[in-house]
Structure 1
Amino acid sequence: MNRADADVIVVGAGNAGFAAALAAAERGQRVLLLEKAPPGAAGGNSYYTAGATRIAHDGLADLLPVLEHDSRLADTTVPPYPAQEYFDDITKLSGGRNDPERTAVLVDESHPTLSWLHSLGMRYELLYDRQCYPQPGGGHLFWGGLHLGNVGGGVGMIEDYTRIATAMGVEIRYGQHVTGLVMDDGAVAGVTVGAGPERQNLHAGSVILAAGGFHANPQWLVENFGAGWENAVVRGTPYSTGDMIAAALAVGAARDGDWSTAHAVQLDAHYPENSSNRELTNRLARLSYPMGIVVNREGRRFLDEGADFRNYTYSRYGKEVLRQPGGIAFQLYDSTTRPTLRPDQYDMPGISVETAETLEELALAIGIDPAALRRTVDEFNASITSDAVFDPTVKDGRVAAVQPPKSNWAVPLETGPFYAYPVSCGITFTYGGVKSDAHGRVLDEAGDPIPGLFVTGEMLGGIYWGGYPGGAGLALGAVFGRRAGTLA
């Protein structure tokens, strides 16, 4: 047996990997954290997020112990987000296919895990710019179950994790392309780094896989999702190519989860650097579509923009855009709805947008037949018969009774100027991964743990199928990262 290079090796330095590394280091383990990307491109998908983390809680008073000071807290209302509602949201969006035991672990440990991370030095704040609306009488009201995130978003998250991990003695190595797992008498005993003459084995008592899915592997996308997915824009890290999923399967791990689709959003279609942009990160997404309508190149609507809060539909609607002619669509707003859009995304520098005083002029600017667009908008406007008051903080029941319907927040588009934002499909992460138990131990086809091997984050399959509630991905990585690091 070779001398161990570490007690625990963690592969992948994003949210999930750092949480695992901190949990192991807290127990006095010698932890080696290996990151495929170089320092200037590290952080995995976590770096590209807004840092939003979904946790169960009892309202603002329950969140205050982990929040940074903010003068707005005094007039802020945050509705409770009970554990049962969290569990039900995951189950609904997964069509009931999610593993109930691991889902319960995620939900029940989401708040304690975030509190643990805060105790180590992670910083959190309420998501004022994306999850609340100022009230007419003053104050701020939050909505949608997703309420807090890291100070500085994903960038701040990785900065905090790196600072804390270094202080706790975690050794971080960048530019480490892990290509396989080292086996010793049926147990995982380390990893292989590199290939060819530069190849070397690193040994450890346990290995925790937190290297992300395969969203940046066009060949795997086409093989699993079908033709056209090679055209999806990689929204996050370009380093998640499925290498460690392949390595786990090679040593007998069972596949798990939804291998038929991915988390994909509407992304600025024409911004010159809309793929893996480390400066704009989450700002390139276009997620205020519930406030307007979305049409394709033929001027037709093709989805229910108001089916639910954005947090519950955004991860599914990118693939709907991909299915449209040319893989592109346009979000439309008028002067009434434009002020309700997220400023971080719709007021960003260099945004792709066309503006016109009339719908016909707008149609010409975006290459749509003016008569077709006018027909779509007129039918939509005429179908809104609800007397319900427009309220973006609740599902207000303002319905457009057209096909497809708009189930909430239907407001006529009739007052110029009009705005069109071109969007394409931006793939964020994949749902298919390897099978684990409730402690993050990787299981083989017989359902038995593979000794020495753990998994967390986007590599862990079985909880999200077809869709997920926003912010639950970071929660999953942290919860199961902590569990894996506690056992490894």
Structure 2
Amino acid sequence: MALPTECDVLVVGSGNAGFSAAVSAAQSGAGSVVLIDKCPQSWAGGNSYFTAGAYRTAHSGLADLLPLVNNVDQDLATRIDLPAYTEADFGNDLHRICMGRSDPALGQILIQESNDAVKWLASNGIRFQLSFNRQAYEVDGRYKFWGGMALKTQDGGKGLIQDHQAAAQRHGVTVCWDTPLTEIQLNEPGSAQQRRVTAIVNHNGAPRTISAHALVFAAGGFEASPRQRCQFLGPGWDMAMVRGTPYNTGDCLELAIGGLSAKSAGNWSGCHSVAWDANAAANTGDREASNEYTKSGYPLGLMINAHGNRFVDEGVDLRNFTYARFGRAILQQPDHIAFQVWDARMTPWLRAEEYREERVEHIVADTIEGLAEQCAQRGLQDRGQFVRSVKEYNEAVYAHQRENPDGKWDPASRDGLSTQSSEKQLQIAKSNWALPLDKAPFLAVKVSCGITFTFGGLAIDPQTVQVVSNTTGDVIPGVFCVGEMMGGLFYNNYPGGSGLTSGAVFGRRAGREAAKLAMKAQSSGNRQVKL
């Protein structure tokens, strides 16, 4: 589309948060909404495209979610166990997982508006499904959902962005690609320039300006910048593999903090990072494979580093609450790699989209010694210690089973099957889902650290979502921030699925507030606008 020279609301970034803000602004009365992104159209969607499309929301149980989804018929509904996930549950998880550091006001808005936000998205044409493949196990003929999260979008992040683009088109949002934001000028009220913000962009190789009543930052974090990863996350983070878009290099964060004196907030040394296929491309996600390079089956087995040692409690909590921080643990290991290991008892439970042979290299052997030999050809440095680690783990599992003969393995709950007993305890426990690795054939895959998004960002006023000035402590009128660029919500870790929910909740709120500001400015300029 042709780039307009002025608009009511300008949104920077084409991910879930950006499209949510743009559509919300259009629905709230903004006469003209423009969304720009520095990426080409073929890379639309930012990091949202690379997600599984999971949304964490408070809800009252299966009946509350069924009207939103398109993959459950009447018969299937009778075989689903999906308990309520209350606002209190969500709040407890956010507080626990983020070490009590999450901004209380931001957290409260996220939680209280989460249910309404996903229903709003559904009303805009976002296609939701129950996440059977990622969030439920079939146990005794029933689908048991676990971890407080049940919703995903059809075809994951790919489908989410497709639906967002369609909604934006229906609402008349102008979308311009290959248009990086390079500078922002704030215009004083009453000046010759009637609009509050002048954005200077580079469009088709030439500088252009767009004047807007309001600007919404939704341009992502700095996870694709090796320099900034080392600067803020610490040494070694330049070796992390980029899970998503290569265009999230922190440009707009630097522009806002340096050019607008925006106040920074949040956990700048923290990020969302996962176990990632070590054979994937290092500096960019794959638009075709997308989220399938994630390797989140570790609770079903073990993770062993290049020196042959376990280094995390694979069963310390449900996968939703550990996968976003275990990438960091892998990055801290020798050569930044690890091997995920299972026996034949567990391999049928691995998700096909992540572990099928077409997607990941299978390392297979009939004995643990043979598996160690195979792994040694792919970076394992101590085969003997690898074998000893598995043997010691098995002995601890057997000891626990002898003391707890009635224990039942249940992948959909914290089942208490552990390596810790009065007879034997491991220095690093496996607290749940501990079954022995003793049934051939054995499978391993090689993983590294895949970084998803960074937690540091801009401080905002929770109610208006306007950016706070570092100079005055007041909001910067007409400048908003949502999505990964917003700081203060996540610390050290995050409850799985709450990132997309945050983008929708605060994107919707920012679009509404930006539209209000635009209509107020038009009214004060003697334009006849019905408020």
Question: TM-score, normalization: structure 1?
Answer: 0.97
Superposition map of 1:14-413 within 5 A? 14-29=15-30, 30-71=32-73, 72-136=76-140, 138-185=141-188, 189-194=197-202, 198-249=206-257, 250-271=259-280, 275-347=284-356, 349-367=358-376, 368=380, 369-384=382-397, 385-386=400-401, 387=404, 388-401=407-420, 402-413=426-437
CA distances 1:240-269 after superposition (whole Å, capped 9, x unpaired)? 011111111121110000011211000010
Q: Do 1:271 and 1:350's aligned partners in 2 also have CA atoms closer than 8 Å?
A: no
In terms of Rg, which structure is larger? 2
Q: Which residue of 2 aligns with 1:456?
A: 482
Q: What letter is aligned with 2:320? A: N
Separation of aligned partners in 2, 1:484 and 1:66: 24
**Worse-superposed segment, 476-485 or 82-91:** 82-91
Separation of aligned partners in 2, 1:391 and 1:90: 24
Separation of aligned partners in 2, 1:440 and 1:84: 24
Give the CA deviation at 1:188: 5.2
Q: What letter is aligned with 2:10? A: I
Structure 1 residue matching 2:345: 3-state secondary structure: coil
Which one of 463, 479, 483 corresponds to residue 505 of structure 2? Answer: 479
Give the CA deviation at 1:396: 0.6
Q: What letter is aligned with 2:301? A: G
Structure 2 residue matching 1:98: 3-state secondary structure: coil
Q: Do the aligned partners of residues 55 and 196 (structure 1) sit closer, same or farther apart at CA in structure 2, a change above 3 Å counting?
A: closer
Q: Which residue of 2 aligns with 1:441?
A: 466
Q: Which residue of 1 aligns with 2:192?
A: none
Gaps of 5+ in 2: 190-194, 421-425, 515-531
Give the CA deviation at 1:70: 2.4
Q: What letter is aligned with 2:473? A: G
Structure 2 residue matching 1:383: 3-state secondary structure: helix
Which one of 410, 419, 424 corresponds to residue 448 of structure 2? Answer: 424
Q: Do 1:267 and 1:285's aligned partners in 2 also have CA atoms closer than 8 Å?
A: yes
1:12 matches 2:20: no
Gaps of 5+ in 1: none
Separation of aligned partners in 2, 1:240 and 1:207: 18
Give the CA deviation at 1:69: 4.3
Separation of aligned partners in 1, 2:214 and 2:294: 37
Separation of aligned partners in 2, 1:17 and 1:261: 22
CA distances 1:1-60 after superposition (whole Å, capped 9, x unpaired)? xx9611000000110000000110002311000011111111100000110000000110
Q: Which residue of 1 aligns with 2:525?
A: none
Separation of aligned partners in 1, 2:479 and 2:392: 57
Q: What letter is aligned with 2:147? A: G
Q: What letter is aligned with 1:389? A: K
Separation of aligned partners in 1, 2:14 and 2:313: 37
Separation of aligned partners in 1, 2:361 and 2:294: 11
Q: Do the aligned partners of residues 43 and 272 (structure 1) sit closer, same or farther apart at CA in structure 2, a change above 3 Å counting?
A: closer
Separation of aligned partners in 2, 1:408 and 1:220: 37
Structure 2 residue matching 1:317: 3-state secondary structure: helix
Q: What letter is aligned with 1:457? A: G
Structure 2 residue matching 1:220: 3-state secondary structure: helix
Q: Do 2:242 and 2:282's aligned partners in 1 also have CA atoms closer than 8 Å?
A: no
Q: What letter is aligned with 1:282? A: N
CA distances 1:172-196 after superposition (whole Å, capped 9, x unpaired)? 1111111221211289513211299
Q: Do 2:12 and 2:36's aligned partners in 1 also have CA atoms closer than 8 Å?
A: yes
Separation of aligned partners in 1, 2:281 and 2:512: 43
Question: TM-score, normalization: structure 2?
Answer: 0.89
Separation of aligned partners in 1, 2:147 and 2:387: 33
Separation of aligned partners in 2, 1:342 and 1:69: 18
Give the CA deviation at 1:357: 0.2
Separation of aligned partners in 1, 2:465 and 2:357: 39
Structure 1 residue matching 2:292: 3-state secondary structure: helix
Q: Do 2:353 and 2:359's aligned partners in 1 also have CA atoms closer than 8 Å?
A: no
Q: Which residue of 1 aligns with 2:528?
A: none
CA distances 1:53-72 after superposition (whole Å, capped 9, x unpaired)? 00000110011121114233
Separation of aligned partners in 2, 1:73 and 1:163: 30
Structure 1 residue matching 2:78: 3-state secondary structure: helix
Q: Do 2:240 and 2:282's aligned partners in 1 also have CA atoms closer than 8 Å?
A: no
Q: Do 1:443 and 1:450's aligned partners in 2 also have CA atoms closer than 8 Å?
A: yes
Q: Do 2:182 and 2:202's aligned partners in 1 also have CA atoms closer than 8 Å?
A: yes
Q: What letter is aligned with 2:504? A: A
Q: Do 1:188 and 1:207's aligned partners in 2 also have CA atoms closer than 8 Å?
A: no
Structure 1 residue matching 2:186: 3-state secondary structure: strand
